[in-house]
Amino acid sequence: MTAQPEPLLVIDIGGTTVKTGVWSQQRLIRRDHFATPASWSALLTAIVQLRQTLALPFAGVAISLPGSVDTVAGRISGTSAVDYLNGFPIKTALRQALDLPVSIQNDANCAALAETWQGNARDVADVALLVIGTGVGGAVVLDHQLVAGRQNFTGEFGYQVMTAQGETLSELGSPVRMAERYGRLAKLTHPVSAKAVYRAAEQGDDLAQFCIDDMLHWLSCAAFNLFVSLNPQRLLIGGGISGRPGFVADLQQRVQCLMHQHGAPLMADITACKFHNDANLIGAVYQFYLENGDDTTVKVVSA
């Protein structure tokens, strides 16, 4: 294995928040975050100021991004949660502004890379990742290869149409959407969070429990579909809700029931991601090493 360049400036650009950190001595330190700026110029200014504030001899910059990331062209193709980055050559722009090597990768792919590198899929060749948040996304690793797809769209599981009415998995399986549904049915006049819905269910609110069960039903259907179509050794669950006690175990039980119901001779190995909120940052580091010659295990293929 070649020497791994350090320190790295690591940035996870999300639709509402930008998370940052420094990768040094094989660990993530100096974590921070700020609200996602409203324009590219403002984002670039924030990144330049962050580098100046940290005042470290950075060897490069590793970026995690939402959307269909073309790691070769250095841009997002299609749509993204950060509109001004769609089609923008962010990799080249950052390299020129910072005079450093820059890598970019899709955020869910970064999470998968983190887990296969140092997390709960380190010993597994075939892995699917389901990230549950505002929407539902994911990633696929087959035979230690992260599958990007011909148009960098592999793992966009949230687009799956789940009902005859055209409702998607992101609409039916998102905790955020579940909370919105509860608010509408309960005729609430104020926003409610998924955590609040779970608390209501624990206090005996039947409507809250109904909404939670409905979300879990659609997530278990999606997980079942992943097992019978990709046949991974393990399905990893990411997103904040994956850390909720009992959530992954409940999902696994529901998926195993579907296996039995439909005669699929499979075992549902479902596990929460190890790195939770740090997964995108750690995976971005791994992507940087992939692009800069490190002899790593997981590779990236287009199909």
pLDDT confidence of 72, banded at 50, 70, 90?
confident
Question: Percent of the chain at pLDDT above 70?
Answer: 95
pLDDT confidence of 100, banded at 50, 70, 90?
very high
Q: Whole-prediction pTM value?
A: 0.84
Q: Which of 52, 53, 16, 8 is nearest to 34 (CA)?
A: 16
The per-residue pLDDT for 297 is 56
120-273 shares the fold of 8-105: yes
pLDDT confidence of 302, banded at 50, 70, 90?
very low
CATH classification code of 120-273 = 3.30.420.40
Give the C-alpha separation, 257 to 71, whole Å: 39
Question: What is the domain partition of the chain in residue ranges?
Answer: 8-105, 120-273
**The CATH homologous superfamily of the domain defined by 8-105:** ATPase, nucleotide binding domain (3.30.420.40)
The per-residue pLDDT for 240 is 82
Residues near 210 by beta carbon (within 8 Å), at least 6 away in sequence = none
pLDDT confidence of 293, banded at 50, 70, 90?
low
Q: What is the mean pLDDT of residues 70-87?
A: 83
| DSSP structure string for 115-171 | HHHHSTTTT-SSEEEEEESSSEEEEEEETTEEE--TTS-TT-GGG-B-STT--BHHH
Q: Which of 159, 119, 121 is nearest to 140 (CA)?
A: 121
pLDDT by residue (tens digit) across 176-231? 999 999 999 999 999 999 999 999 999 999 999 999 999 999 999 999 999 999 99
The per-residue pLDDT for 295 is 52
pLDDT confidence of 75, banded at 50, 70, 90?
confident
Q: How many other β-carbons are positioned within 10 Å of the β-carbon of residue 18?
A: 21
Q: Residue 158: pLDDT above 60? A: yes
